[in-house]
A and B are shown apart, each in its own frame.
Chain A
Amino acid sequence: MGNKTLDKAKKGKFLKILSLPKGLTRIQLIRFGITEGDIVLCLERLPGGTVVIRKNRQEIAIGFDIAREILYSNHS
């Protein structure tokens, strides 16, 4: 169960968020409802690494630069 960065997530898979970037981005993610340990669904991964995840009903688009700083592991 290797830890990968979110920009490489697979579409349609449930993921466990292991770590978020530091600073302002972290604060904003927490506000949106994303914290470490959360299980989210990867709704889409666009070429270039923009990722859309869903937690409960909330969909969040995450740019490549943020996604590559988020670590996740696959959740079955």
Chain B
Amino acid sequence: MSSQNSTEAELTEKTKSDNKKLKVVLAGNANVGKSIFFNELSGGYVDVSNFPGTTVSITKADYKHKYEVYDTPGIYGVSSYNEEETVAREIILEADIVLNVVNSLYLDRDLFLTQQLIDLGKKVTVLLNFTDQVKARKLKIDYDKLSAFLGVEVIPCSAVEKYGFDKLDFAIEQARYGKKLADLSSMRNKESLASIPEPELLLYAEGDQLVSDKYNLPVISFDEREIIYIQRRNSVNELVSNIEYEDSSKGKFFNLLGRLSIGPVSGVFVLIAVLSMMYLFIGDLVSQQLVAFTEGEIGHKIFEYNLKNYVAEFTPSEISAEILNDEGKAIEKRTFIFKENLLADQQLYKEYKDYYRDKDYQISFSFSNPVYRLLFGDFGIISMTITYLLFLLLPLVLAFYLAMAFLEDSGYLPRLATMMDRSLNRIGLNGKAIIPIILGFGCVTMATITTRILGNEREKTIATAILQFVIPCSAQLAVISVLMTSAGLVPFMIYAFVILSVLVGLSTALNYLMKGTYSPLLLDLPMMQIPKAGNVLKKTYYRTLGFMQEAAVWFFVGALLIGIFDVTGLLVVFQDLLAPITTHWLKLPKEASTAFVMGIVRRDFGSAGLFEMALSPMQITVAIITITLFVPCIAALMVMLKERGLKQGLIIWGATWVGAFTIGGIVAQIIIR
């Protein structure tokens, strides 16, 4: 329904009609389903999650060429106490119509905002979501009474069942001014306040800093603003007690699960269970078995083999064929040199084909022509990039995003935040910080944006530093887990120990060095639920798609750079230059420096480069520690610079360089003999 591409004539037409378009704003508490309604109205897709703070920015779409629809972050009141509120407040003040999405199960919480929106003098319609849950729990809500009390339309809907979606037009058209509770007449009489428009006057009365600044007025004291708040709260409480009846024991299982996940002992077991399931799914099923098939069989044996064989029909090549035994070890090897091309020497071609027929084999190609090498060689822009992207990363990233989406929608994350609160207090964060950190295991770039949900700048800085320093993203983690499984248990424990120590050391140091303290936790816990398959799949699909689109570009750029270095001989020069660090300090083969160069472009790309090297288990450990701590990918760097500012961003980025090589080196000196 949204029109993205318009001709010039249409554009002028559009600007004309834009002026007339009414602003429809979706507003409501966190987790009430605003984004699902927005998706319905816009015909597009925005990310939906079951934890507060998913929507941190405003999304806009055209609806029927008559309206502009806005999606806003979840808020509990219109004011400017935090970033989400500030963003939402502005757009709500400009709104012509507010569609207030309300969670039917949390009426006493949600209607507080509803009453405030009505008091602001906005045209409102209430979309009462989750009626499916109301039914399931044998709850009764008197919609007519509610509507009469508020003075606006109340439309029962269920975003999950798409019930009530046909009434969205009606909801927009019938939006009207409701019954105001707040009495501002005494304020109106004051001369200094007489000219302030009504919505802003209410916000002023509620102690809004921005309005006070705008009109040069002193901010109202907490005691005064509280009068309005208490009045509103009491009114809503009374209303709810009059319209809601009967509660059943339905949903007991999830209540129990929710309670278990925050228990001091049971919570640890739930966490272990969740992590184990994730490990079984991602670490074992996908990164071992599935990837072995996609990368080894499809990527190398089918895709690259056929591609390179085909290319060799046109250019001179040197092909070495290895015959493997049952354990995958090479027992025989022969090199075939085709001076002209594969087909020119039919005799040799037949020998080559016969050599590995009906056997387990591994073939590697080498092209002397630099252009062919650039495109199809070991670092070939086409050969390597496609294998890595499609057959290594895609299945892994898909699995990670799927697991993440499931976790997000289950309602478990806020409970994990509660459980971790005191522990995170020690490193200067509150429990909420566990959410960006966990999400960081999916994608550090995305998680860096999520640090916005944290209470203060200090917490955002600490969390960002942790993310950029120690948290490996899904793509990198995938490569790490494959490499680590081949290295064994001891290297894994060394790796985990070093990374955890850096995490604790880094955050303790930052907590000590930076002024201030953490903000105390105050978090509403959404219901535990089985995530809806539709939303989980949609989210996984869109995030994976987004990831692949972005990753593809950087992979090609990286491969091109490395390819040019390789063909021109610069790679060797570079390796020699870095050799003192790589070979003496990190005790790795000098080719490992290639992995670091690639790691600047994308971290996972760097780790993937280690695949091709013959490293001992301890060398793998050192290389992976260094790569994990090493600079974040370009995308994460860009987001960090935007979120944290140029100076702080660059300090963190620079520190990861120094930190990675220092710590990697120290570990190397200890464990590699």
Residues in chain A within 8 A of chain B (CB atoms): 22-33, 35, 43-44, 46-50, 52, 55-66
Contacting residue for A62 out of B76, B225, B521, CB 8 A: B521
Whether A64 lies near B523 (C-beta < 8 A) is: no
A32 and B222 contact, Cβ closer than 8 Å, known pairs A44-B262, A61-B525, A66-B522? no
* Contacting residues, chain A, for B77 (C-beta < 8 A): 27, 31
* Contacting residues, chain A, for B421 (C-beta < 8 A): 46, 48, 50, 61, 63-64
Q: Smallest distance from the beta carbon of A36 to chain B beta carbons, Å?
A: 9
Q: Which residue of B lies closest to A61 (CB)?
A: B418
Which residues of chain B from 388 to 438 have a CB within 8 Å of any chain A CB?
Answer: 414-415, 417-419, 421-422, 425, 430-431
Q: 22 interchain pairs (CB within 8 A)?
A: A27-B222, A27-B225, A28-B522, A29-B522, A31-B112, A43-B262, A44-B259, A46-B422, A47-B264, A50-B421, A50-B521, A57-B106, A57-B247, A60-B523, A61-B417, A61-B421, A61-B525, A63-B421, A63-B425, A66-B520, A66-B521, A66-B522
* Contacting residues, chain A, for B525 (C-beta < 8 A): 52, 59-61
Q: Interface code B96-121, partner A: CB below 8 Å = 1, 0 otherwise?
A: 00000000011011001100000000
* Contacting residues, chain B, for A46 (C-beta < 8 A): 262, 264, 418-419, 421-422
In the complex, whether B356 has a CB less than 8 A from a CB of chain A is no
* Contacting residues, chain A, for B418 (C-beta < 8 A): 44, 46, 50, 52, 61
A65, B431: Cα distance in complex, Å: 13
Residues in chain B within 8 A of chain A (CB atoms): 76-77, 81, 105-106, 108-109, 112-113, 222, 225-226, 229-230, 233-234, 237, 240, 247, 258-259, 262-264, 414-415, 417-419, 421-422, 425, 430-431, 520-525, 527
Contacting residue for B259 out of A23, A26, A43, CB 8 A: A43
A47 and B422 contact, Cβ closer than 8 Å, known pairs A22-B222, A27-B226, A28-B76? yes
A65, B521: Cα distance in complex, Å: 8
Whether B520 lies near A33 (C-beta < 8 A) is: no
Whether A64 lies near B522 (C-beta < 8 A) is: no
A68, B77: Cα distance in complex, Å: 25
A64, B519: Cα distance in complex, Å: 11
A59 and B258 contact, Cβ closer than 8 Å, known pairs A30-B230, A52-B418? yes
Whether B225 lies near A50 (C-beta < 8 A) is: no
* Contacting residues, chain B, for A50 (C-beta < 8 A): 418-419, 421-422, 431, 521
* Contacting residues, chain B, for A23 (C-beta < 8 A): 222
Q: Name the prevailing secondary structure of the B interface residues.
A: helix
Contacting residue for A52 out of B76, B226, B230, B262, CB 8 A: B262
* Contacting residues, chain B, for A58 (C-beta < 8 A): 106, 108-109, 524
Q: Which residue of B lies closest to A43 (CB)?
A: B259
Q: Which residue of A lies closest to B234 (CB)?
A: A35
A24, B519: Cα distance in complex, Å: 12
A48, B262: Cα distance in complex, Å: 13
A56, B112: Cα distance in complex, Å: 15
Whether A59 lies near B524 (C-beta < 8 A) is: yes
